[in-house]
A and B are shown apart, each in its own frame.
Chain A
Amino acid sequence: MHNNVVGTCEFMCPTTEIQMRERENLLHTFEVLESREKMKRPRADRSKAVKEFTRSAAGRSDPRPSDLRPTSVLVKTVDYLLERIVPKQDVKWHKIYDFVADRLRSVRQDIVIQRLAGPEICLVFIKCIRFYLYAAYRLCEVPVSLFDPHLNGRQAIECMKASLLHFSSLEVPLLAELQELESLYLLFNLGSLDALMHVYESSADVRSCARVQLALAVNETYLAGNYVRFFRLVKKLHFLDLCAVHRHIPQMHNLALNRMSVAYNSKIHGYPMEHLRPLLMLDSTDKVAELCMRHNLLVKEGQIYFLKAAWKESGLANPVKWIFCQEKDRKTAQTSMQLVQLLLIGGSTAVS
């Protein structure tokens, strides 16, 4: 029989931890009292200190209730992180990411240890997922030493899988958020049979909504190799859905050129770069040329010479902030307020 520990910590960070970190000078710059910032041993600002993630070590005794935060505090913590820390302009965003990702992980740990459940927890999860996916897009051009998309991806997937279980055990379903979750899950795991089967096995009112139907359509074009329709549909995605599918776009570029190198195979006739550019949503003909040359396809005078024999497999290019993505970003998450709304409620308009 499991007796769930019930957390009693009223603050975003347990007192014992604050005291320890003050003593050992382990406070984060985001957590210190401003007036004291220049002192050797800064003091914590109670309203800013957030519980860190620490691995539960084997042999360590069970956490005390005073170290665990109940649901209401976890909700406040997540909202604080997304409202106050994420939109900060005075720090490089990958540093913001490190802090927020760590603190969110600690939030999720408190949830697991206390076996918390219910609608507020579901909303906590979905806010975390929105953060991870947004981060995946925002930091896609940052060197891997500063931001590791694989680690972020793993956190996102872990969170998605946990969410799906939590959402499915709600007595009163959170339909809009579930539709959003299924859509993000499918797109982030584009081409995955598991994710697809999951969506098909979900209830009709989840599956039949416009958002999930669009995600399914994108997935279908991906599996079918229909690169023309793929990009046409991707353009229509909600910004968060775009963030989710973003990492799979290079694969589609690769596939398109591969198919075309066979189908348009010709030693004499070329294919105009400027025609291909918008089909693949690339920023310029220079970028088209770059991609072609990666695969050893000859480019001359604005024409691509698709030659089956010349085609060379090449590792996938990293996804970047293509112009069409930046445009969507500008429309949805340009201002701090917009960004915060995106993460807290999924955007300024209701999820369609």
Chain B
Amino acid sequence: MAHGTLADYLSELQAVIETKEGLLAAELLSFKHPHIVNPRLKIANPETQVERYFDPPYDEMVAAHIRAVWSISNHDFIEAYGCQTIVVQSFCKALQSQKDENWSLPMLFALCLDLRLFANSADIQLTKKGRGKPGETLEKAADILMGAFRICASDNRAQSADSKKWGMLNLINQLFKIYFKINKLHLCKPLIRAVDNSNFKEHFSLSQQVTYKYYVGRKAMFDSDFKGADDYLSYAFQHCHIMSRRNKRMILIYLTPVKMLLGYMPSVSLLQKYDLLQFADIVSPVRQGNLLQLNEALIKHEAFFIKCGIYLILEKLKIITYRNLFKKVYLILKTHQLSVDAFTSALRIMGVDDIDNDEAQCLIANLIYEGKIKGYISYQHQKLVVSKQMPFVPLTSLK
């Protein structure tokens, strides 16, 4: 297809649409397909020819696709994005008119994918030119994808096999990618609700489910729902295809801090296997209650953690570190009436130079408040009085 004439291309596309071969049609409209580099398809105004082969709304769709090919050959992603919006919107008209059938879903997926990718590149080009706010195009693309999503989600009539609802998860995953990119995670909520309410939930393809749970898990992290995040991300990690090493690593980047906050430290061998030894520098100081070393490790790998967006979650490990340090103090003193001085000294030994009894009490107060220590502070006696039974609540049992 990288060599035929425009007529060849158009007639082939027309044929597969007529015979409802969604996958083949999708390929012929996808920018991953070789026809994209065919110089004979780089036409700025293909309308007349296209109209010979296609009726509305496909005529608009295909003409816009060819114009997009033209724009891409000029490296103009802004123009390509504009054309692709017409492609998607015209296609959606066709999709909506297809009652009780869903053969064209693969086309929808391919078109939406390209829309998102062009929007991404368009934003970069616009920012370089000093026009528009960052992420503006992606946001517009999300609106269009939402339109497509609604068509799928509202298909109540068809029988299970022919329902357009099967398109939901693919589109949701695309939307998730945009929302995470533009940092508007709250927009994920209604989509998650839509999936939870659907009875197709468990029947989407495994790879779709893995992607879905990866994003939902990350959102849960963001909302500080660490138990939920653990469930979703663990599922994603376990069911992610063994050959997708890169994807497995990505999941692990988020799963690791979640597990650590829940009290489960990763093994060095696991971290080594997935090239994530940055976490190894964190595990040791957290276990030992060594705040200074933890801070050093966070600074050392700052760039990596910030880039992945987990720096702030890792900061939460500080409270776990305090807890571990204080537990050591308790184990050493072997009494349930612990003088605050002991904690202050322990913190000083661990390198926190400017700490005093008031601040030590404040740290303890926070741990009591969060249910990590069972006890109370007596100001009178400057002591932490802990419960005689398991005063340091095991981290793995906390919510």
A residues near B (Cβ < 8 Å) are 2, 117, 165, 169, 193-194, 196-197, 200-201, 220, 223-229, 232, 258-260, 262-266, 269-272, 275, 279
**B318, A272: Cβ atoms under 8 Å?**
no
Contact of B376 among A117, A229, A264, A270 (CB under 8 A): A264
Chain B, residues 266-306, CB within 8 Å of chain A (1/0): the string is 00000000000000000000000000000000000010001
Chain B residues with CB below 8 A from A201, complex form:
306
Interchain residue pairs A-B with the least CB separation, the first 3: A263-B365, A228-B362, A228-B359
Chain B interface size range: 20 to 34
A112 → chain B, closest Cβ, in Å?
13
**B312, A224: Cβ atoms under 8 Å?**
no
Chain A residues with CB below 8 A from B315, complex form:
220, 223-224
Tell me, yes or no, whether B368 is within 8 Å of chain A by CB.
Answer: yes
Tell me, yes or no, whether B377 is within 8 Å of chain A by CB.
Answer: yes
Contact of B306 among A200, A266, A269 (CB under 8 A): A200
- Return the chain A residue nearest B368 by Cβ: A263
Give the number of residue pairs across the A-B interface with Cβ within 8 Å.
Answer: 70
Chain B residues with CB below 8 A from A266, complex form:
376, 378
Chain B residues with CB below 8 A from A223, complex form:
315
Give Cα A201 to B312, complex, Å: 12
Chain A residues with CB below 8 A from B183, complex form:
194, 197
**B366, A193: Cβ atoms under 8 Å?**
no
Q: What does DSSP make chain A's interface, helix, strand, loop or mixed?
A: helix
**A265, B366: Cβ atoms under 8 Å?**
no
With A197-B309, A228-B362, A229-B362 as given contacts, are A259 and B376 in contact (CB-CB < 8 Å)?
no
Tell me, yes or no, whether B133 is within 8 Å of chain A by CB.
Answer: yes
**A260, B309: Cβ atoms under 8 Å?**
no
Give Cα A266 to B309, complex, Å: 41
Tell me, yes or no, whether B130 is within 8 Å of chain A by CB.
Answer: yes
B182 → chain A, closest Cβ, in Å?
12
Chain B residues with CB below 8 A from A263, complex form:
361, 364-366, 368-369, 376-377
**A224, B319: Cβ atoms under 8 Å?**
yes
Give Cα A230 to B318, complex, Å: 16
**B365, A262: Cβ atoms under 8 Å?**
yes
Chain A residues with CB below 8 A from B311, complex form:
200
**B358, A279: Cβ atoms under 8 Å?**
yes
In this complex, the member of B312, B363, B377 whose beta carbon has the largest number of chain A beta carbons within 10 angstroms is B377
Chain B residues with CB below 8 A from A117, complex form:
130
Give Cα A224 to B376, complex, Å: 19
Tell me, yes or no, whether B380 is within 8 Å of chain A by CB.
Answer: yes
Give Cα A117 to B130, complex, Å: 10
Chain B residues with CB below 8 A from A264, complex form:
365, 376-379
Chain B residues with CB below 8 A from A265, complex form:
376
Chain B residues with CB below 8 A from A226, complex form:
359, 362-363, 366
**A193, B379: Cβ atoms under 8 Å?**
no
Give Cα A229 to B353, complex, Å: 13
Chain B residues with CB below 8 A from A169, complex form:
130
Chain A residues with CB below 8 A from B363, complex form:
226
Chain B residues with CB below 8 A from A259, complex form:
362, 365-366, 369
Give Cα A262 to B311, complex, Å: 29
Give Cα A260 to B361, complex, Å: 10
Chain B residues with CB below 8 A from A232, complex form:
359
With A224-B319, A263-B364, A263-B369 as given contacts, are A269 and B378 in contact (CB-CB < 8 Å)?
yes
With A165-B133, A224-B366, A263-B365 as given contacts, are A229 and B359 in contact (CB-CB < 8 Å)?
yes
Give Cα A239 to B277, complex, Å: 43
Chain A residues with CB below 8 A from B368, complex form:
262-263
Q: A197-B309, A224-B366 are in contact. List 6 more A-B contacts (CB 8 A).
A: A193-B222, A197-B183, A226-B362, A232-B359, A264-B365, A270-B379
A169 → chain B, closest Cβ, in Å?
6
B124 → chain A, closest Cβ, in Å?
15
Chain A residues with CB below 8 A from B364, complex form:
263
Chain B, residues 107-138, CB within 8 Å of chain A (1/0): the string is 00000000000000000000000110100000
Chain B residues with CB below 8 A from A260, complex form:
365
- Return the chain A residue nearest B375 by Cβ: A263
**A224, B318: Cβ atoms under 8 Å?**
yes
Give Cα A117 to B311, complex, Å: 33
Which residues of chain B in 215-241 are interfacial with respect to chain A, using CB atoms and an 8 Å cutoff?
222
- Return the chain A residue nearest B302 by Cβ: A200
Which residues of chain B in 316-362 are interfacial with respect to chain A, using CB atoms and an 8 Å cutoff?
318-319, 358-359, 361-362
Chain A residues with CB below 8 A from B309, complex form:
197
What are 18 inter-chain pairs, A to B, with CB distance below 8 A? A193-B222, A196-B312, A220-B315, A223-B315, A224-B315, A225-B362, A225-B366, A225-B369, A226-B359, A228-B361, A228-B362, A260-B365, A262-B368, A263-B361, A263-B368, A263-B369, A264-B378, A279-B358
B309 → chain A, closest Cβ, in Å?
7
Give Cα A270 to B222, complex, Å: 38
A95 → chain B, closest Cβ, in Å?
35
Chain A residues with CB below 8 A from B302, complex form:
200
Chain B residues with CB below 8 A from A258, complex form:
369
In this complex, the member of B183, B376, B378, B379 whose beta carbon has the largest number of chain A beta carbons within 10 angstroms is B379
Contact of A271 among B319, B362, B379 (CB under 8 A): B379
A2 → chain B, closest Cβ, in Å?
8
Chain B residues with CB below 8 A from A193, complex form:
222, 312
- Return the chain A residue nearest B318 by Cβ: A224
Give Cα A269 to B385, complex, Å: 13
**A262, B312: Cβ atoms under 8 Å?**
no
Give Cα A226 to B362, complex, Å: 6
Give Cα A223 to B316, complex, Å: 9
Give Cα A192 to B133, complex, Å: 21
Chain B residues with CB below 8 A from A269, complex form:
378-380
Give Cα A330 to B362, complex, Å: 31
Chain B residues with CB below 8 A from A272, complex form:
379
In this complex, the member of A225, A228, A232, A275 whose beta carbon has the largest number of chain B beta carbons within 10 angstroms is A228
B95 → chain A, closest Cβ, in Å?
35
A244 → chain B, closest Cβ, in Å?
21
B88 → chain A, closest Cβ, in Å?
26
Chain A residues with CB below 8 A from B312, complex form:
193, 196-197
Chain B residues with CB below 8 A from A279, complex form:
358
Chain A residues with CB below 8 A from B378, complex form:
264, 266, 269
Give Cα A226 to B365, complex, Å: 9
Give Cα A278 to B332, complex, Å: 33
Give Cα A227 to B361, complex, Å: 10
Chain A residues with CB below 8 A from B133, complex form:
165
**A262, B359: Cβ atoms under 8 Å?**
no
Give Cα A150 to B222, complex, Å: 27
Give Cα A173 to B155, complex, Å: 54
**A228, B358: Cβ atoms under 8 Å?**
yes
Give Cα A200 to B303, complex, Å: 9
